[in-house]
Each structure stands twice: as C-alpha cells, then as structure tokens.
C-alpha cells in the first residue's frame, strides 16, 4: 500500500534465480523491491502496518462516494514501429480496465463459488484525458519516438532503471502532472537474464504518520509502466515476446492495483517462510506464492485450519495467465477507494477530464472558397463535429471527429453563402462558396 520509500532493488542472487525458475516471464517488478525493503529498510513493514491500521480504523466497508472516474494518459514510447501500438489498442486497454474494475468482464462467471461472496465491483473507472496540463485539447494518448531500443530493470542495482522511460532527457517522456493524471508508459521493457518483466508501478506516497526514514518516490515518477506487447486485447504485436498468456490486457489491471495500494495476494514473500507474509487483505486467503502461470485451481499453499480456502489465483493481484484472472475482492475495493480518497484525492478533481477551454477563435480559409476549405478551431476540442448549413438553415454537410485543422471538401456544394459551425453551435463563421 502507501508504504514505500525510494525504489531500490534487492541484490540477493538466490531470490532472482528462484523467481526465474518459477516463471521465466516475470510479470511484475514490485516483489523485487519488496525484498530489498525487507533487508534494508526496517521502517518499511511498520509503515505498512500503520497504513493498514488507518484504513481499517476508517472502516473496510467503503461503498460511498459513487463511481470514481480517474483521468488517464498513455505515453507510447517506441523505437521500432511494432512498439508504437496504435490508438485502437489503447482504447481496447481502457475497455479492459473498466470491465475489470467494474466487474463487467465476461469471465466474471468463472469466479469459483467459494469466492463469489467477496467478488467486488470496485466502482472505479478510467477515462482518457480530454485536456492536457496546459489546458489544450488532447486525445489522452501520446506517441514519442526514442533512440533507446528499450528500457531495462537492473535487478542488482540500487535505483529503478526503468524510470528512464519517464524522463525525456533519458529517451523517455516526462510525466504529466501526477497529482491530476494517471500516467501509463507503454514501452519495450527489455528482458533480463532472468526473464521478461511485463510491468511495474509505484504505490502511493504515504500518510503523515509514516515513521522516520520513509519517503515517497519523487512525484514525477508516479504512475505505471507496461510492456508494449501486453496492452489491450487487439494488440497486433502481442506475440512479439513469445508469450501467449498475457494478451488480454490484464497486466495493466494488475499494475494499476499496485498504483492504488494493493500488494500481491501472497504478500511478496518469495523464498523463506512463504506462509508468514500476507497482503493485509482479509478476504484474500493466505497463500505461499503466486500461481506462476499454472492456472492451478487445486492449489492450496497455506493451511489456515478450519474454513481454509484454496489459493485465490483468479485475483488480479496474483501471478497467472490473463485468461485465469477475473476478480478483485470487497476489501481490495475498500483499500483502493481509501487510497483514492486519502492519498490520491486530486485525481477526483477531474482536471484532465474537463473539456478544453474555448478561446472563441474559429477560422475558415480560403474565404471565399471553391472546392476545399480548411477549418481551424483554436482551442476547441481536437475531435469535434463540424456542420455546414445553407442560408435556409438546412444542414448540407457534416464531418464527424474533425481535428483542430480539418480540410473539408466543398466542391459538391452550389455557390452561395454558408454557415460553418462546431457541433456545439456556439462557434459559427460564414463562408462564401464560389466557382471560378
């Protein structure tokens, strides 16, 4: 949850070898960080306990406030053309997120009977930003070429080298205001000797009662990183990493869970007493490790005695195949909503979701015109409907999803006077169509 200091990675070779042996395609880099904190930051777990205590004291049944809609910007950072995933893939990813966090996913029917009572509609939705930090219109998606062939995570270093993708000076893209936007970087995460990491996210910064010695990552590093092959359900490059089980967009679902405060269901203990560590969530059964892509519904790695339940591998915060995920729990919902309310409340201000400001400018050139006109809308939304009316008030031409500098064919219109207007009808300009 909100309990991390700066990102640093543990350097115990045996732990890395174990994770590689369990699964050469290592889904998430967070557990490496947890192991490092266990060894080098004694305040870490005390901070975690205090945050959990604050959440539980506030009440774990949190359903008030309605649906929380959070603004998202995707930064696609690419070197090769196949890393430059198209916008259609981003739209698919957004659809996956909203299905998973609202429990509208078609595979919700696969939740086992034992877990149906705790399966949750988290009442959290994600929406592409409409306005950038400067107040300009945006699609909520950026595409940036980089000279870097990819970005790598140094498992033995003392800093998160993947953060280079968040820095324009290192070949990445600077974050948009992380107080008001969820930044998701899509890039090529280069495989390490121990396998492929699919994503990584920072949990939220801490509460006032964090112990001394704990400090949050720099604000500009907040957000999520995902490997480009894992994005969306319609990704034409999904097979580029030679993995067939991560092509349903669930990596981003998982990483956003970390961003909103959730730990892995097994509590991130990798190789000592694996049943000694828990995720702090009461309705995710104690388990010893991630499913590691086995999709083994018979697994029950920790015996909790009377009423013991099997491992909840269908939980989005486990490690398994995308097709085997299908649920968050009620307490996970509660914790994520608590994190939004208490630790990331500025996301709810909706700054990035407001329609861009209209500056009142609309221009058409040339005027008079013949076969073509070019409309410029100033700071009107980048994608908008444009309507052309004749002087009788009849709409004679409609252009949907026009951008800020749209060229429109008028050669099929009789000569005369016309009104060109944005779809909101507040901005209109008259134009003369004439023939030579």
- In this structure, are residues 232 and 249 in contact, taking their beta carbons and an 8 Å threshold? yes
50: left (phi over 0), alpha (psi -120 to 50) or beta: alpha
Contacts of the segment 207-213: beta carbons below 8 A, 24+ positions apart: 207/2, 207/50, 207/51, 207/54, 207/342, 207/343, 209/50, 209/54, 210/3, 210/43, 210/47, 210/50, 210/51, 211/43, 211/46, 211/47, 211/50, 212/43, 213/5, 213/41, 213/43
- In this structure, are residues 254 and 290 in contact, taking their beta carbons and an 8 Å threshold? no
DSSP codes of every residue in 92-121: HHHHHHHHHHTT--GGGGGS-GGGGGGB--
SS3 label, residue 408: strand
Residue written as token pair 């998160």: 160
Omega within 30 of 0 (cis) for the link into 368 = yes
Tokens standing for 325?
A: 């995920």
Beta strands at 182-187 and 68-78: parallel, antiparallel or unpaired: parallel
Active-site residue among 222, 255, 269, 331?
255
CA dist 372 to 96, 434, 436, Å? 40, 11, 13
Tokens standing for 314?
A: 């269908």
2: left (phi over 0), alpha (psi -120 to 50) or beta: beta
Rounded Cα distance, 361 and 29, in Å? 48
**E runs forming strands in 276-415:** 363-365, 372-376, 384-390, 395-402, 405-409
Tokens standing for 109?
A: 């029917």
Sign of the dihedral through C-alpha 147, 150, 153, 154? negative
H/E run at residue 127: strand 124-128
- In this structure, are residues 123 and 155 in contact, taking their beta carbons and an 8 Å threshold? no
Tokens standing for 246?
A: 């991560």
Name 62's Cβ contacts closer than 8 Å, sequence gap at least 6.
333, 334, 337, 338, 341
Known catalytic membership, residue 255: yes
The set of catalytic residues is 255
């Amino acid at each position: 949850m909100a309990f991390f200091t700066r990102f640093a990675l543990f350097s115990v070779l045996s732990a890395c070898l174990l994770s590689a042996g369990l699964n050469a395609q290592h889904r998430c880099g967070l557990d490496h960080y947890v192991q490092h904190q266990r060894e080098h930051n004694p305040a870490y777990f005390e901070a975690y306990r205090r945050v959990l205590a604050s959440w539980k004291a506030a009440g774990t049944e949190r359903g008030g406030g309605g649906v929380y809609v959070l603004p998202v910007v995707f930064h696609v950072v690419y070197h090769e053309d196949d890393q430059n995933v198209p916008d259609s893939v981003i739209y698919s990813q957004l659809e996956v997120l909203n299905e998973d966090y609202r429990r509208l996913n078609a595979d919700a029917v696969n939740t086992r009977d034992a877990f149906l009572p705790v399966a949750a509609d988290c009442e959290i939705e994600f929406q592409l930003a409409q306005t950038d930090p400067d107040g300009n219109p945006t699609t909520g998606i950026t595409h940036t070429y980089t000279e870097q062939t990819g970005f790598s995570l140094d498992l033995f270093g003392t800093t998160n080298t993947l953060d280079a993708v968040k820095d324009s000076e290192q070949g990445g893209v600077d974050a948009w205001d992380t107080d008001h936007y969820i930044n998701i970087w899509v890039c090529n995460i280069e495989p390490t000797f121990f396998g492929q990491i699919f994503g990584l996210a920072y949990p939220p910064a801490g509460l006032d009662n964090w112990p001394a010695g704990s400090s949050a990552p720099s604000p500009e590093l907040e957000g999520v990183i995902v490997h480009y092959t894992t994005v969306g359900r319609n990704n034409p490059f999904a097979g580029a990493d030679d993995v067939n089980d991560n092509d349903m967009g669930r990596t981003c679902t998982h990483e956003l869970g970390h961003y909103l405060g959730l730990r892995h269901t097994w509590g991130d203990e990798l190789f000592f007493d694996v049943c000694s560590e828990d995720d702090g969530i009461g309705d995710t059964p104690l388990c010893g490790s991630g499913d590691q892509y086995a999709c083994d519904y018979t697994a029950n790695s920790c015996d909790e005695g009377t009423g013991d339940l099997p491992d909840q591998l269908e939980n989005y915060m486990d490690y398994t195949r995308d097709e085997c995920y299908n649920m968050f729990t009620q307490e996970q919902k509660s914790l994520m909503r608590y994190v939004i309310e208490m630790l990331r409340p500025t996301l709810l201000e909706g700054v990035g979701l407001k329609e861009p400001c209209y500056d009142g400018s609309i221009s058409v050139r040339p005027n008079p015109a013949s076969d073509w006109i070019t409309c410029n809308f100033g700071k009107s939304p980048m994608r908008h409907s444009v309507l052309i009316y004749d002087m009788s008030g009849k709409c004679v031409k409609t252009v949907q999803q026009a951008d800020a500098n749209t060229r429109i064919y008028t050669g099929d219109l009789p000569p005369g006077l016309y009104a060109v207007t944005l779809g909101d009808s507040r901005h209109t300009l008259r134009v003369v169509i004439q023939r030579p």
